[in-house]
Amino acid sequence: MTVNTFDPKQTTTMDTPRKVMEQQAKATDTAAAKSEASAEGNARIGFVSLGCPKNLVDSERILTQLRTEGYDVVPTYDDADLVIVNTCGFIDSAVQESLDTIGEALAENGKVIVTGCLGAKENDITEIHPNVLGVTGPHAYEEVLNQVHQHLEKPKHNPFVDLIPDHGVKLTPKHFAYLKISEGCDHRCTFCIIPSMRGDLDSRAVGSVLSEAKRLKEAGVKELLVISQDTSAYGADVKHKMDFADGMPVKTSMQALCEQLAKLGIWVRLHYVYPYPHVDKIIPLMAEGKILPYLDIPFQHANKRILKLMKRPGSAERVIERIKKWREICPELVIRSTFIVGFPGETEEEFEELLAFLREAQLDRVGCFKYSPVEGATANEFPDHVPEEVMEDRLQRFMAVQAEISAAKLQARIGQEYLVLIDEVNSEGAVGRSYMDAPEVDGKVYLTDEFDVEPGDMVWAQIIHADEHDVWGVKVED
Ligand code: SF4
């Protein structure tokens, strides 16, 4: 599973297709167990989900519907009557992985339906794999279900056994969930092809988002990760129109959404926030402890010329000013960001400007990627591509600067106490995260030899040790 939409490296899955397939089946275990007795003869489906969390949310919705209709979800190609592959098509390696996975599913099973981002380029798939049963693009839930119905008989519904949890089938652990608030993106960053694959911004109705959030909380979710291609643009496509949640009018905007989510009393973490000025309005909510003081803002670069070439907003000076202002209002604020080094035409001076920005901005969590020439990205046409060895050198230098910053920041946390959400308990103790750490991309809090907790528990811990990425702590009483 992966977590970012436009960070080239992070769009590659870390799990092998087989492993992912087993996870999907495991996630439906409750429902499967309940329907086992009646499932004899039910059509069985294998599911492989590749790519970013937004794709994962699509997979959850398709699986929810399949389970609702009574299909069984199985963990191996052999057991499946048909396999669905939800693809990623962001960078070349993700495309290749998707094509390889489709090939594997065809060889192992033979009946394959393809959906997801790569599905938007149907010919690219059918040229290589002409035998797939059907191809659809991203978030095409209904079409996928229709294709399944064409090839596998719809199970007879039995309301007494075909139960799924209220919140649907979740592929993340029970205690956190991704909440997708919109599809598509109105920006045209020159290194990105997401808008051509996923279309323009299409915001979900705020009432529907909030009722999903409420259901997730009722199902035991302790942390909601708000995701989209551009969270700060939420509602701009519908002119921030009023909708209703629990009979009350709510504006379709990031601020109103955050205010409502804050009422749930669980962790709310914002991802993929574009640095618009109106983000300022969210900071007081963080200072008041209503949503997590954590902002994931992909700045991508600091040099004005490169940002312009990237078609990204802002300048380093303005960003530094805003970060300072935000930290005055909310000193606990943790900022995560991602950057691209080696963008076509990036000079040594421009790269050094980025390093200087990094030193001044003192960001908490940072990811960095070498420019990846995604097929179809406008920036590929730009002159003066940076040689691979120069990109690699810049990446290493960038990471070295950030490692120092990060280590110093985490050292300063030693002695302080934080609320920790436990993700797992293994043979060495418990592993969790504080408000500073988003799952999969940030650091962890290790509670060595702590076995008296369970995943989903929230406990206070004092930090006793830190490196440049993770911290170690001991549980303390509330
Ligand atoms: S904001 Fe830019 S990088 Fe992000 S999805 Fe939109 S076009 Fe791509």
Q: Which amino acid makes up residue 325? A: K
The residue length of the chain stands at 478
Q: How far apart are the first and last CA of the chain?
A: 34
Q: Which amino acid makes up residue 105? A: A
Bridge-partner residues for 32, per DSSP? none
- Specify the residue with its C-alpha closest to ligand 1, atom 4: 229
Span 148-200, pLDDT tens digits? 999 998 876 554 444 555 666 767 787 998 898 998 899 999 999 888 888 89
DSSP 197-246: HH-S-EEPPHHHHHHHHHHHHHTT--EEEEE-S-GGGTTGGGTT-EEEET
Query: Cβ neighbours of residue 444 under 8 Å, at least 6 residues apart?
Result: 423, 431, 432, 433, 437, 470, 471
Q: Which atom of ligand 1 is nearest to the CA of 188?
A: 7
Span 382-394, pLDDT tens digits? 999 999 999 999 9
Span 88-138, pLDDT tens digits? 887 788 889 999 999 999 999 999 999 999 998 899 999 999 999 999 998
Residue 189 Cβ inside 6 Å of ligand 1? The answer reads yes
pLDDT on residue 20: 53
The band of 64, judged by pLDDT with boundaries at 50, 70 and 90, is confident
Contact 332, 307 (CB under 8 A): no
- Specify the residue with its C-alpha closest to ligand 1, atom 1: 187
Q: What is the 173 CA–ligand 1 centroid distance (Å)?
A: 28
Nearest to 258 by CA among 228, 230, 290, 227: 290
Residue 195 Cβ inside 6 Å of ligand 1? The answer reads yes
Q: How many CB atoms lie within 10 A of CB 378?
A: 15
Measure the CA–CA gap between 155 and 42, rounded to whole angstroms. 6
Q: What is the three-class DSSP state of 463?
A: strand
Measure the CA–CA gap between 355 and 399, rounded to whole angstroms. 10
Q: Which atom of ligand 1 is nearest to the CA of 198?
A: 5
The pick from 10, 180, 192 for probing ligand 1's pocket by mutation, whose C-beta has the most ligand atoms within 8 angstroms, reads: 192
| Residue 368 marked ligand-binding | no
Q: What angle (nearest 5°) sits at the alpha carbon of residue 229, between those of residues 146 and 342?
A: 125
User: Cβ-count burial of 259 within 10 angstroms (0-12 exposed, 13-18 middle, 19+ buried)?
Assistant: middle
Measure the CA–CA gap between 240 and 473, rounded to whole angstroms. 43
- Specify the residue with its C-alpha closest to ligand 1, atom 8: 192
- CA dihedral of 96, 98, 102, 105, whole degrees rounded to 10: 110
Contact 199, 219 (CB under 8 A): no
| Residue 330 marked ligand-binding | no
Residue 192 Cβ inside 6 Å of ligand 1? The answer reads yes
| Residue 258 marked ligand-binding | no
Q: What is the 177 CA–ligand 1 centroid distance (Å)?
A: 22
Residue 185 Cβ inside 6 Å of ligand 1? The answer reads yes
**Among 39-53, 187-201, 426-440, whose mean pLDDT is lowest?**
39-53
Q: Which amino acid makes up residue 267? A: W
pLDDT on residue 29: 46
pLDDT on residue 471: 98
The band of 24, judged by pLDDT with boundaries at 50, 70 and 90, is low
More confident: 32 or 322: 322
Nearest to 398 by CA among 446, 435, 443, 361: 361
Q: What is the 275 CA–ligand 1 centroid distance (Å)?
A: 12
Mean pLDDT of the residues in the chain: 87
Instruction: Please report which helix (H) or strand (E) contains residue 366, including its range.
Output: strand 365-370
What DSSP designation does 300 have?
B
Nearest to 198 by CA among 5, 373, 14, 340: 5
The whole model's pTM is what?
0.80
**What is the percentage of the chain residues whose pLDDT exceeds 90?**
66
